[in-house]
Structures are given as structure tokens and as C-alpha cells.
Amino acid sequence: MTLDDYRAVAPRGAVDFLLHLAEPMRGRQFVHVTASRYGGGVVATLNQMLPVLNALGIETRWEIIVGTAEFDGVARAVTAALEGTEQVITEAMLERLRATCADNAGRLPLEADLVMVHDAAPLLLVDRRPARGRWVWRGHGDLSSPQASVWAFLRQFVVKYDAAVFSLARFAPALSIPRFLIHPSIDPLSERNRDMPRAEQAERLARLGVPRDKPYLLQVGPFTREQDVLGVINAYRLVKRHHDVRLVLAGSARPGATGVLDDVREVAAEDPDVLPVVLPPDPHADLNAIERGATIVLQKPLRTDFGLDATPAMWKAKPVVASTAGGFRFQLVVGVTGYLVETVEGAAFRIRHLLTNPELIGRMGAAGREHVRRHFLITRHMADYLALLTHLTK
């Protein structure tokens, strides 16, 4: 994608705004460090952002730390512990984290005006930071209740950064360094969110086995307990008493955790209007088609990070009924772009209300798209990063 491609989708003037914001920063070096170049929202955002930042004259690089399979396992456990899921983490595991980061610090070119280190795996790189440049740690998850022993170890490294960035105030632990807030974003030109011709949408839905003969409700998310998939089915059943709708549950099946998917398949065997769709490995265009075909989108996880799945649905002009978990309350404008609910009954009530008042579906959908255009597109995200670069390197 080129910067000019965003003129058609971003708010009026946003691209010129970025050009002017970047102008005094031209030639500055900005390095991102992650543990992987594959999978996940952070990686997707960086993939889209890097060429545009470079086109703006910011010399932006993306470095990956390399470790053994054992290191990958340690990084996963530490990430889960930071996000509040109790783990067994030994001294040897923490030493593996430290040694791998030390190896990578000696190997990677980390001299830059601003180095942004994403999430837990590469966090300890800061221990060997070069003298020049400012370093920022970007914590993407909910770090409000980390496993105490793990946080006590990591915290001593976090405070060696010049600042930390979190997605929400409630996710940010207490720190002695400055903490900034930057919401994540979606790319309107990515496969997940690009405009899609009707013929392509119909072809993809047909291939996935999603019929179009009646309206469907949709939840996107892995088939896990945390997504409250069975709660969504119960909400659908309450709605189904009054409206002839289908429920599409689209997600990945986590290896070794097929229990929920088995439960859903059991329900689907008795009710053909419940439709589990197990997504292929690269599901973005398929998700795009499924979201465009939906009438109302639900996001009802019990616990999540920012939960950016509501935003792609709003971008496709769908009203969203979401739980109060994670960042949904910051993505939705309650009563304008959708509703927040606490219970199965609350979800059913809001869905029924929307189906009974179809003009609201169109109005809320349109408001949602405009809300995303102003606040959750990658152009706003890049402006935030450029503001951070300006502020920290002035």
C-alpha cells in the first residue's frame, strides 16, 4: 500500500496531516522489535505501517529476536503470567529469557532515535541498550493483575526504558517511568477490511458454507471458554423465539482445546441455524466476507485484551453488541454504534431490539463506520507514533 491509497478511506486531510507531522522528523530512525514476524494484530499492524512510515521519511526498521524452541515456550508462559494466568516459571526459565535477549542485543542493529520493543519476549533487550537513542516498551496486553513473582522480575527491566506505552489506562501497571496511552488500530486496506465486491463475498460465503437465505448474527473468535461461545448460543436462542435468524460462530480451533468446538457442533447437529465455521490458516479475506454478510455482530468474551474484533465489524457498518471486557467500552459509543451488555439476557434484549427496529441497524452501522474512521484507523495510530517520536526525541 502507498500513503496515497489511504486518502480514499481515512478522514479528510489525514494523509496530508501525516505528511506535515512527519516533515520535521524526516531522517529519524525508528526501530520496532518483536518476537515474531507472523500472526497476530501487532504483526499485522507493523506490516502495514512500516512501508508508510518509510514513505513519510522516517527510517523505520523491524527487527526480530531469535531464540530456541525452549525460549519460545518461556516467552509464551511469561506473556500468559503477565496477563494474569498463573504459570510455573522457574529461575532457569527466566535465565533463558535473559540469555536469549543478551545474544540478540549483541546481534541486532538497535542504534536508532527511537526503539520500540513490543511485549514480553524481547523486553530484556533493554539491559544492553546502546547509549544513543530513546527506548520505549510497548505492552499490548492487560497487565493490570500480573503474576506477582514474574512481574517483580520483569519490572526491574521495564523501568530501564525511557517510557512505556499501553492500550488502556486500566491495563497499565504502576511504574516510575512515563506511561503513554495509544489505542490499537485496524488497516482499512488490509485483506480483513478492504472493500470487497459482492461477487467475491458471495463466492467466499458459499465456499465456507454460510447461506444467505436469512439474516445472521456473528461472533468472531476462537472456540474457547473465554469467548463465552455457549453464552452467545443462549442469547441467540432467546432471540430465535421471535426472529428467524441464524448464528454464525467463526473462529479457529485451538490445538488440544477442541472441547468448546465439540459442544458447538453438538448444538449445531440439533439446530441447523447454528453454524460453526472453522477458519483456514489465513482467514482474513474470509472473515471480511463473513462480517460483511452479518446483520449484527456480537463480541462477548469474558476476558480479552483490547478486543479489537469489534472494530473491523464497525468498519463494515455493523452494529456491535459487546461485553464490557477489555477495550470494548472504548471502541463502542453506547447507544450510537452498538451496545455493551453484562449478561446473556442483555445481549438477547439488545439484539431483539435491533431486529425489531431495522432502521437502527443501518443508523448504528453508519455511525460505527464513521467512529472507526476517526479514531481507530492505522492513520491515527501512525500519527500517535509520530507524536511519540516527536515528544521523546525533541
In angstroms, the CA 252 to CA 286 distance is 12
State the number of binding residues for other proteins (CB under 8 A).
Answer: 33
Cβ distance 76 to 121 under 8 Å? no
Residue where the block lists cell 519460545 = 72
The residues, ordered by sequence, that sit 6+ positions from 153 with a Cβ below 8 Å of its Cβ are: 94
21 near other proteins, judged by CB under 8 A: yes
| Cβ closest to other proteins, residue 94 vs residue 336 | 336
Binding segment for other proteins (CB under 8 A), chosen from 64-72, 108-116, 258-266, 379-387, is: 379-387
Identify which range of 8-16, 60-68, 269-277, 295-303 contacts other proteins by CB under 8 A.
8-16
CB of 383 to other proteins, least distance (A): 5
Question: Chain-centre distance of CA 91, in angstroms?
Answer: 31
Report the C-alpha gap between 283 and 39 in whole angstroms: 11
Least distance in angstroms from the C-beta of 394 to other proteins: 9
**Nearest approach, Cβ of residue 278 and other proteins (Å):** 35
Nearer of residues 99 and 366 to other proteins, judged by Cβ: 366
CB of 388 to other proteins, least distance (A): 6
Q: Give strand pairing partners of 30.
A: 60, 114
Interactions with other proteins, residue window 39-58 (CB under 8 A): none
Nearest-approach distance from CB 171 to other proteins, in angstroms: 10
383 near other proteins, rule: CB under 8 A: yes
3-state secondary structure of 359: helix
Is position 169 an interface residue for other proteins (rule: CB under 8 A)? yes
300 contributes a contact to other proteins by CB under 8 A: no
User: In this chain, which of 153, 157, 166, 306 binds other proteins, going by CB under 8 A?
Assistant: 166
Residue closer to other proteins, measured from CB, 125 or 367:
367
Segment near other proteins (CB under 8 A); pick from 66-74, 107-115, 357-365, 382-390: 382-390
User: Does residue 371 touch other proteins according to CB under 8 A?
Assistant: yes
Q: Closest approach of Cβ 307 to other proteins, in Å? A: 15
Using CB under 8 A, which of 180, 263, 303, 393 touches other proteins?
Answer: 180
Alpha-carbon span 279 to 253, nearest angstrom: 8
Number of other CB atoms surrounding residue 51 within 10 Å: 13
- Burial group, residue 356, by CB count within 10 angstroms (0-12, 13-18, 19+): exposed
The DSSP result for 184-226, as a single string, is --B-TTSTTTS---HHHHHHHHHHHT---SS-EEEEES-SSGG
**295 phi/psi in degrees, rounded to 5:** -90, -45
Q: Does 177 bind other proteins (CB under 8 A)?
A: no
| Whole-angstrom distance, CA of residue 118 vs CA of residue 23 | 26
d(Cα 195, Cα 215) in Å, to the nearest integer?
Answer: 21
Report the interface residues with other proteins, using CB under 8 A. 13-14, 16-17, 20-21, 23, 166, 169-170, 172, 174, 178-182, 329, 333, 336-337, 367, 370-371, 374-375, 383-384, 386-388, 390-391
